[in-house]
Structures are given as C-alpha cells and as structure tokens.
Amino acid sequence: MSLGPAIVSATRRALEAAFGLALDGLSDDQIASAVGAALLREPCPVDAADPRYLASVIDHLPIDESWLFRDDDLWTWIRDEIGPELIERALARGRPLRVLSIGCASGQEAYSLAIVLQGLLAATGVSPSSAANLAQVDGVDASPARVAAARTGVLNAWSVERCLPDCLRGRVSPEEPGSGRFRVDRSILSMCRFETGNLVEIATREGALAGYDLVLCRHVLIYFGAERAVRLIAQLGQGLDPDALLVVAAAEAHLLAEAGLQPAAHLGAGRRGRAFADVAAPGSSALKTPRQSFRQSSRTMGRRRSRSARSPTPAATPDTADPASHHLRRALEHTEAGRDHEALREARAACFHAPRHLFSRLVLGRTLIAQDRERGREVLREVLYHAAQLPQEAEVPNAPGLSVGQLASAVRLLLDKPGKP
C-alpha cells in the first residue's frame, strides 16, 4: 500500500497530539511502515481522528525496546537497598507493596520487578504462590498490542537473553526447544496486572499515582519534547504519595530537579517528602521471621551475593550536609578494595547529588570505563571539555590539592590508555 506524505504527516501530528509524543526521531518511512503494518493486521479507514486507528499505529512504532533487568545497577539497588525498606514499610501499614511501571512495553520491566520482590519475600519464608498477596506490580503502556502480549507472560529470546541468567531465579524458562520464546512463571505473572494507558493521562489525572510506593517511568520521557517532559515530570512528582519513589532512566535524571523530589542514592531516583530514616516503621515486630526481621534477612542475602567476605563494605557515616562527598568517598573506598560494581553505584550517586563536580565525574568515568568502555570514555571526554573552560590552576572541588590542570592530565591518561584500565 502506498501512503502519501499528507497521510503520514497527519498521522504523525495526531499521534503527537493524542499521546504527547515527540516523534522527531522517527522518519516518515518509519511512520509509514507502522501505518502499513497496522492496516495489514486490521484493515480500517486511514483516519487520523480515529483513536482505534492511532492505537493500531502506535502498536507498530519502533519505540518499545525493552528487556528483562535492563540497567543492572537499578536492580541491585532495589534488591539490596530500597526494596527491603519499601516492603517493610508497606506491610507495617497493613497493605501490600504497590509498584507502577509506566511504559511497560511487553511486560519486561514489570516482570523484573516481580522477580526481585518475590526473591526478597522468599527470604522471610513467603512462598512464590503467596507473594502476590504482599507485592503487586502494575504495568501501563499506550500500545494495546503490547499490553495484550504482557498479559500472556510470553517473551521473545531477545528480551530474555540480554540479562544475566542469575537474575531470572528460574522464573523464566523456554516455552519449548527451538521456539525462540520464553514463558514467565505463573507465580510472577500473578503479581502483575497490565492496562492500556499513557504517561500524559497518568501525569494529569488526579490521584492516578495514589497508593503507589514506587513508580518507574524509564526511557519514556526521551520520546517527549523538552518542555513537555519538564511539565510531565513535575506533574508526576506532585502526584506521588509522601515517601514514594520515582525512578527515571539515567539519561532523564536531570529532569528530577523539576519534580521537587529529594535525591535518592541511585542516579535517576527521587523521593517525595520525608526520607525513610526520618520515619519510624510502626509494628515492625509483625515482620519477624523465626530468626530475624525482614530487613535483616534480605540485606544479609544481598550482601552474600554482592560483597566479598574478605573486603567488607566500609561502614561510613553519611554526611548529610554534603551527600556528594559522602558518596564520592565511598566510591574511592570501594575502588581501592576492588569492588567495581559498588564503586560505580556510589560514583553515580555522587554525580546525581552534584552533577557539576568534575572530580565526581572523573571517578564515575574511571569506574565506568572498566565495565562499559565507550560510555566511560564519553563521560571522561565531557570532563575534559568542562575542565578546559576553567582556570587550570584552580583547585577542583571535593579534591583538595588537585588542580584543574592536573585533573585534565589524569583524564587524558585514561583516554589514551589502551584496553581495560
């Protein structure tokens, strides 16, 4: 079917108006391909004013890239740090933990959340079949076809094989040999619920986020224009319950300043209202297992997986007056002890609290380059660019005795060094 430029242009404008998307990154050929695929699947009049037509087109737009456990650091943070706190807080209030995944695609993020939460609950003796009574994950996506796919619990191989097998905890398995499809365990699927909806509706509808302890809206705002993204993040922040968390992708983290949220110890995460440490969890005895509390059990489990017994994590006292310095100090301590993953997490947290600190960004780039060379080099090149704008004799904040010129020399050495530093 040949589609004229007028049809493609009208469809583009209608999609942007209906879903708030900025489709500048998609070519006319990509829009036309989505229209053609939609009409092949379900022939209907090409009418940019028809919501059914637009929903069918959005099903085929190439804006749904996702896989299980995308961005490793996020899942480590949820598993080892914030997840136990969230579950304990919710259950102490006599209700299940509630999590929302906005832009859930075919369910990959929601399934990942359910797998992590089920594992945390298992540490207290909760069986997989009972986990759905204590933790619930809602997924929302603008594409009806992707929502329908999420409800089946079936994933393609690409969505599964990009993550580490250990993350899956045996909850995702091949549907049948050679099929290229995987099926999510029924106990995970029972924890998840999927609905059709879009970010604009959620952000602007009063009470849409009420009752959620954690809201993930990752890799979604990048599809909106800058001004629209700022308005949406502010509306999401205002809609959160006190103490609830909002998480966006690292590439969207700069927008959190517009949401009025307190920074959390993960790049792209912010919390509304009081910090967890300022609120006593009532009725904590209700969470006792035969040997230890939920928090103790889950944290012990996390330490066994992520920390070396010979190199314990330094027990530093947080510097509330300067959290960036606190995280930077911990990043350096982790680096010296050879704990690259923990060092990267702390370096990112330091940059989140103080994104303009050159030394924090140097530590981030130095740590990241060992795990993702190209991304690390990109960070280091940015440091070099900003250092060139400053007096070379000036002292670098957070690094007493280190001048801007010396820092730039260190960056050049890292960039010039071949292979893994």
Determine, yes or no, domain membership for 318.
no
> Are residues 118 and 263 part of one domain?
yes
Q: What is the CATH number of the domain that holds 374?
A: 1.25.40
Please name the amino acid found at residue 142.
A
pLDDT value of position 371: 74
Would you state the torsion angle of the CA atoms of residues 31, 33, 34, 35, taken in this order, to the nearest 10 degrees?
90
The residue whose two tokens read 């994933």 is 155
> Are residues 333 and 205 part of one domain?
no
Determine, yes or no, domain membership for 81.
yes
Domain residues for the domain of 153 are: 72-277
For the segment 375-388, the average pLDDT, to the nearest whole number, is: 83
Window from 41-50, 112-121, 164-173 with minimum mean pLDDT: 41-50
HSE-up of 218 (CA within 13 Å, CB side)? 25
Q: What is the CATH number of the domain that holds 161?
A: 3.40.50.150
Confidence category of residue 317, pLDDT binned at 50, 70, 90: very low
pLDDT over 70 (residue 225): yes
Determine, yes or no, domain membership for 370.
yes
> Are residues 80 and 52 part of one domain?
no
Alpha-carbon distance 29 to 7, whole Å?
12
Determine, yes or no, domain membership for 317.
no
pLDDT value of position 354: 67
Determine, yes or no, domain membership for 386.
yes
> Are residues 130 and 102 part of one domain?
yes
pLDDT over 50 (residue 282): no
pLDDT value of position 329: 84
pLDDT value of position 140: 96
Say what the pTM is: 0.59
pLDDT over 90 (residue 155): yes
Determine, yes or no, domain membership for 284.
no
3-state secondary structure of 362: helix
Which helix (H) or strand (E) segment holds residue 407: the answer is helix 404-416
> Are residues 358 and 233 part of one domain?
no
pLDDT over 80 (residue 279): no
Query: Which of the listed residues 257, 277, 297 is the one where a domain comes to its end?
Result: 277
> Are residues 201 and 82 part of one domain?
yes
| pLDDT digit string, tens, across residues 156-200 | 898 898 888 889 999 999 988 777 899 999 999 999 999 999 898
Determine, yes or no, domain membership for 32.
yes
Question: According to the per-residue pLDDT averaged within each range, which of 51-55, 332-336, 371-375, 398-402 is highest?
Answer: 332-336
Determine, yes or no, domain membership for 286.
no
pLDDT value of position 288: 36
> Are residues 85 and 36 part of one domain?
no
> Are residues 368 and 220 part of one domain?
no
Q: What is the DSSP letter of 268?
A: T
Closest CA to 364 of 381, 384, 343: 343
Which helix (H) or strand (E) segment holds residue 136: the answer is strand 135-141
Confidence category of residue 311, pLDDT binned at 50, 70, 90: very low
> Are residues 88 and 16 part of one domain?
no
For the segment 14-35, the average pLDDT, to the nearest whole number, is: 69
